[in-house]
Amino acid sequence: MSEGSFKVRLRRTEVYEGKRKTTWYVRWTVERKPFKSGFGTEGAAESYKAKLRTAANDGLPFSTETGEPLAWTRRPIRQETAPTIGVLDHFRDYVFKNWRRWSSSQRENVAETLMNAMVALLPQPGRPDELVLRTALRRHAFNRRALEPEGAVAAAYTWAVKHQPPVTCLEDLDAMHAVIDRFAIAFNGEHRVAASQRRMRAALNTPVDRAVFQQHIKSNLLQTHPDFKLQRNTQPTVAVDKRICANIDQAERLLAAVETVQWSGPRLKALFAVCFYAGLRPEEVADLRRANVILPATDDLWGELHLTGAARYTGPAWTDNGDNREYRGLKHRAADAIRIVPVCPRLVAILRVHMATFEPGPDGRMFCSHYGHIVSPRTCQKTFQKARKIAYTDAEQASPLTRRIYHLRHSCLSRWLNAGVPATQVAEWAGNSVEILLRIYAHCIEGELHLHQQKIEAAEAHTARQQ
């Protein structure tokens, strides 16, 4: 047996893209002697590298001939049979194989789901700090673009790899109950809404099905066991609370207050106005260009917005180019589709003032910061909340009225429906299906109830006169 050494240093993983297949080479040195080992998947390579790191941290001597710990001489870890694969390795391999096909928001959702599942499956004794462990799992274990973890995060990551249960735990009833319970309760102790729980269950279902297909486990308990079946009478989407919707007077007070908030308020007034008067999603407003804004000759006529895409904020960790936003086509539409939205005279006047006051962004965007960048969601939300305190009374501030920027879109679509615009037309303007539109937005908004009451009184008076 060769002499062991403790002078081990891991190197960057090398990727060789051949004509037929891609190989990931794990590289390291023992006593400055280079070693490398090739793997057919990135997940397998990262798993092997993590086990080398664990062995080095545990103080195991490494062979100067094979490069592996002496304890592995008779049973190399990379030659383990498929049924003994760890659940963390299984999840990570699933993420890495599908990463390029997913959007940035889907990557983030899957990582969040698998992180919650692993927190429930990992053992309690010796567990690292909860926040550090979640960071190690979400930002490193399930992120293909992640950098090498450092400090406490690296230690937590190594601990999770070392103590991961086998993938067969996915067919253990108690383990799956713990996972579903973790989906129900957030880390701050609050109960997650049903839609979030359903989304996380759907994200977990695919890697569990994959384990069945690879013959690691016999069945998917999420589909076969009665304890995990979803209630049939539970609607996937619920109607919006009409108390969050603003009427014209409340919205105008809010827009006037936005203009007084320094420093970003004057630049953001038109952005919020587009959400309220045209019903755009925030990510659609962020991608709006001046070339897409068609204004009439005078402010008493109607204009149009020609929408071509959206800029969804996800953070640089989840996009391919490291940008904060993912640029894509319109939601529920083809990549090259265009959606035309009407612009009422009031919004025409606001947009005309904005275009005359502020220069467009470098790429012709309507709304940008003082430095020419797309305004961040954090800046928008801070300005919105400050304006809300200025514009609303104490009673209105305590109510759910427009607590989020997205509620301005709810207000617009509800207002259009209540004005008598056909649901098919509103759905086309909003970029929704008619079914979803009627299920969520077909409600009266505060401040217009008296109009419907007058119609009822007029109908009753007409009936009384006929009698």
Residue at 292 is within a domain: yes
Residue at 252 is within a domain: yes
> Is the pLDDT at 449 greater than 80, yes or no?
no
Of the three residues 228, 254, 278, the one that is the final residue of a domain is 228
Of the three residues 46, 64, 80, the one that is the final residue of a domain is 80
pLDDT of 458: 80
63-74 mean pLDDT: 80
Dump pLDDT digits (tens) for 352-366. Answer: 999 999 999 878 999
- H-helix or E-strand spanning residue 311: strand 310-313
Residue at 463 is within a domain: no
Q: What contacts 50, CB < 8 A, 6 or more positions away?
A: 157, 158, 161
Burial call 384-395: b when 16+ CB within 10 Å, e when fewer: bebbbeebbeee
pLDDT of 339: 96
CB 312 within 8 A of CB 107: no
Whether cis (ω within 30° of 0) applies to the bond prior to 263 is yes
Of the three residues 64, 80, 96, the one that is the final residue of a domain is 80
Residue-number span of the structural domain to which 207 is assigned: 87-228
Dump pLDDT digits (tens) for 285-320. Answer: 999 999 999 999 999 999 999 999 999 988 888 888
pLDDT of 430: 95
Dump pLDDT digits (tens) for 401-431. Answer: 999 999 999 999 999 988 889 999 999 999 9
Lowest mean pLDDT among 76-80, 186-190, 297-301, 323-327: 76-80
102-123 mean pLDDT: 95
Computed over every residue of the chain, the mean pLDDT equals 88
Dump pLDDT digits (tens) for 2-27. Answer: 567 888 999 888 888 877 778 888 99
**106 and 157, same domain (yes or no):** yes
pLDDT of 391: 97
**253 and 332, same domain (yes or no):** yes
Distances from the Cα of 445 to the Cα of 306, 421, 428, angstroms: 27, 15, 21
Amino acid at 75: R
Higher pLDDT: 242 or 448? It is 242
**324 and 352, same domain (yes or no):** yes
Dump pLDDT digits (tens) for 198-250. Answer: 999 999 999 999 999 988 999 999 999 888 876 544 455 567 888 999 999 99
pLDDT of 233: 45
Q: What contacts 449, CB < 8 A, 6 or more positions away?
A: none
**308 and 369, same domain (yes or no):** yes
Higher pLDDT: 315 or 91? It is 91
Residue at 235 is within a domain: no
CB 271 within 8 A of CB 405: no
Domain with residue 389: its CATH number is 1.10.443.10
**274 and 215, same domain (yes or no):** no
Query: Considering the chain, what percentage of its residues have pLDDT values greater than 70?
Result: 92
pLDDT of 372: 85
Residue at 460 is within a domain: no
Q: How far apart are CA 318 and CA 371, in angstroms?
A: 24
Residue at 456 is within a domain: no
Q: How confident is the model at residue 83 (pLDDT cuts 50, 70, 90)?
A: very low
Domain count, the chain: 3
- H-helix or E-strand spanning residue 130: helix 130-136
**52 and 103, same domain (yes or no):** no
CB 325 within 8 A of CB 374: yes
State the pTM of this model: 0.71
Q: How far apart are CA 92 and CA 429, in angstroms?
A: 40
Dump pLDDT digits (tens) for 126-156. Answer: 999 999 999 999 999 999 888 788 899 999 9
CB 354 within 8 A of CB 295: no
Residue at 461 is within a domain: no
Beta bridge partners of 313: 325
**93 and 208, same domain (yes or no):** yes
Amino acid at 324: N
**359 and 433, same domain (yes or no):** yes
CA 301 to chain centre: 39
> Is the pLDDT at 185 greater than 50, yes or no?
yes
From 233, 244, 322, 319, select the one nearest 276 (Cα to Cα).
244
**276 and 416, same domain (yes or no):** yes
**323 and 373, same domain (yes or no):** yes
Higher pLDDT: 351 or 329? It is 351
Distances from the Cα of 237 to the Cα of 183, 193, 197, 416, angstroms: 18, 11, 12, 21
> Is the pLDDT at 443 greater than 70, yes or no?
no
**215 and 273, same domain (yes or no):** no
**134 and 169, same domain (yes or no):** yes
Token pair for residue 390? 């200025």
Residue at 267 is within a domain: yes
Q: How far apart are CA 38 and CA 20, in angstroms?
A: 15
Token pair for residue 51? 């086990």
